[in-house]
């Protein structure tokens, strides 16, 4: 059966004390909104509708950057959750099947939990996601008998006996798409806050003779982000989950608590990740690779059998083929390294293509930027680049060639040639001693003058 997802992302988040919309603050190197969209997309929905509000243009842009097929609609003014859903329902006018309402500032909801709600729809017309709270606080309370839900009472409107209930409302709701549209159209704002509560659809559905049900999840899944402290808590929860999933998938983490993943990090089975490794967005590490300690990776692809680090940085566009070795204090950016390439240490390779089994010596730099434009360096197969070589792009070094250590290469090097681009050494016997004696006498004279 088809499913549609409505993502509520209209809140300003004043308690974040930020000019940035709350849902664009990052967790796992991605906006909170993207986490919600990733969960929504895991259901393979027929459509996704995002309800924006504060900084609507920025939230819309972030939505389309993640999923260009999503629909965005602005809620203005912001008069409650039912009012927000009402803005989305025109996009579901011809939708078949169910609709699920989730929240962009509650990024920890699992796909399995939403699928459990969809399964419960076979038994109930409306399904609400609930949880037992350690400290119920100001959460709305679920008045239920087992799985059967009678009503949801907001804390502001709850009696003392209802406030004593620990079964709380997460806000996530699932219903038939057409029924949901019909129900939110009937919601009134005759409550303490003067808002249109989505929770009111439970009693409205029951008044029509429909049943409502509750699906439970762990409280940790319902974590909402409204403050910087809660954002930090969510980040810790996300990293803990990502590390556990990596270990379960056969990845070795030698010091799990020091590894930080991004939302879209992909690490293959039997890969080994050392301590203090940070994954930025867009990283894929294939099976059998090793990332040693203190590496920072972003926007790169590392193939089977490659070794990276320690203390290496891979930036966007770095492509490492099988069995490539990138050593300590090496930076790779927008460069393709073919099979078996070795870049041992203290080197920058940017905007370059490096052929298979080439060796790059220490201190090599591809000088790719002229102050206005970037230029590409092409290095062939089985080339030996001597230590401290400056390759001034655009330049090509042919297959099997060699550059002498300390060279500045400004012209193309033919295949199998040796390129030497350095001044001839001049040696003057005895001059060092005479120079040191002169300098020492000058220093002594200055000391006396003081």
Just list the catalytic residues: 345
> Locate tokens 């001059």: which residue?
431
* Pairing mode of beta strands 30-31, 26-27: antiparallel
**Residues making up the chain, counted from first to last:** 450
CA distance 48 to 4: 6
- Number of Cβ within 10 Å of residue 404's Cβ equals 17
Q: Are 392 and 365 in contact (CB under 8 A)?
A: no
Q: What's 151's DSSP letter?
A: E
CA distance 265 to 450: 63
Question: Where would I find the beta strands (DSSP E) of 250-341?
Answer: 252-253, 266-267, 272-273, 278-279, 284-285, 290-291, 296-297, 301-302, 307-308, 313-314, 319-320, 325-337
User: What does residue 155 show for φ and ψ, rounded to 5 degrees?
Assistant: -55, -40
CA distance 76 to 97: 28
* Pairing mode of beta strands 98-103, 167-176: antiparallel
CA distance 287 to 207: 56
CA distance 3 to 17: 36
Q: Are 226 and 16 in contact (CB under 8 A)?
A: yes
CA distance 400 to 193: 76
User: What does residue 76 show for φ and ψ, rounded to 5 degrees?
Assistant: -155, 110
Task: Output helix, strand, coil percentages for the chain, rounded to the nearest 5.
Answer: 25, 30, 45
Q: Are 16 and 228 in contact (CB under 8 A)?
A: yes
- In the chain, what's the furthest Cα-to-Cα distance? 106
> Directed axis angle between helix 56-66 and helix 32-42, to 10°?
40
CA distance 283 to 72: 28
Q: Are 346 and 362 in contact (CB under 8 A)?
A: yes
């Amino acid at each position: 059966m088809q499913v549609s997802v409505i993502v509520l992302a209209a809140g300003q988040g004043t308690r974040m004390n930020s000019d940035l919309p709350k849902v664009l603050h990052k967790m796992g190197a991605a906006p909170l909104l993207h986490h919600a969209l990733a969960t929504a997309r895991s259901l393979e929905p027929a459509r996704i509708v995002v309800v924006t509000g504060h900084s609507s243009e920025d939230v819309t842009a972030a939505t389309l950057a993640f999923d260009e097929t999503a629909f965005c609609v602005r809620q203005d003014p912001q008069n409650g959750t039912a009012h927000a859903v009402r803005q989305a329902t025109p996009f579901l006018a011809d939708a078949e099947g169910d609709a699920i309402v989730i929240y962009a500032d509650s990024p920890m909801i699992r796909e399995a939990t939403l699928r459990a709600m969809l399964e419960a729809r076979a038994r109930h017309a409306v399904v609400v996601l609930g949880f037992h709270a350690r400290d119920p606080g100001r959460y709305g309370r679920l008045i239920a008998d087992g799985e059967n839900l009678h009503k949801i009472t907001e804390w502001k409107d709850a009696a003392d006996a209802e406030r004593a209930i620990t079964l709380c409302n997460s806000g996530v709701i699932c219903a038939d798409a057409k029924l949901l549209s019909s129900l939110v159209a009937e919601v009134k704002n005759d409550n303490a806050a003067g808002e249109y509560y989505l929770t009111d659809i439970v009693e409205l559905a029951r008044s029509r003779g429909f049943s409502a049900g509750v699906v439970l999840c762990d409280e940790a899944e319902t974590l909402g982000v409204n403050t910087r402290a809660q954002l930090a808590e969510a980040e810790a929860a996300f990293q803990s989950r990502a590390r556990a999933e990596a270990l379960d998938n056969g990845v070795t983490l030698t010091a799990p608590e020091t590894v930080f993943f991004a939302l879209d990090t992909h690490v293959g089975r039997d890969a080994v990740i050392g301590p203090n490794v940070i994954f930025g967005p867009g990283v894929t590490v294939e099976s059998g690779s090793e990332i040693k300690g203190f590496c920072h990776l972003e926007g790169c692809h590392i193939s089977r059998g490659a070794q990276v680090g320690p203390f290496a940085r891979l930036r966007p566009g770095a492509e490492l083929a099988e069995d490539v070795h990138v050593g300590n204090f090496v930076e790779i950016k927008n460069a393709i390294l073919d099979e078996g390439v070795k870049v041992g240490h203290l080197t920058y390779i940017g905007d370059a293509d490096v052929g298979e089994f080439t060796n790059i010596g220490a201190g090599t730099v591809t000088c790719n930027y002229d102050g206005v434009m970037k230029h590409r360096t092409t290095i062939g197969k089985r080339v030996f680049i001597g230590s401290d070589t400056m390759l001034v792009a655009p330049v090509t070094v042919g297959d099997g060639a060699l550059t002498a250590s300390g060279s500045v290469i400004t012209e193309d090097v033919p295949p199998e040639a040796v390129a030497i681009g350095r001044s001839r050494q001049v040696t003057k016997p005895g001059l060092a001693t005479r120079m040191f004696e002169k300098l020492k006498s000058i220093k002594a004279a200055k000391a006396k003058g003081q």
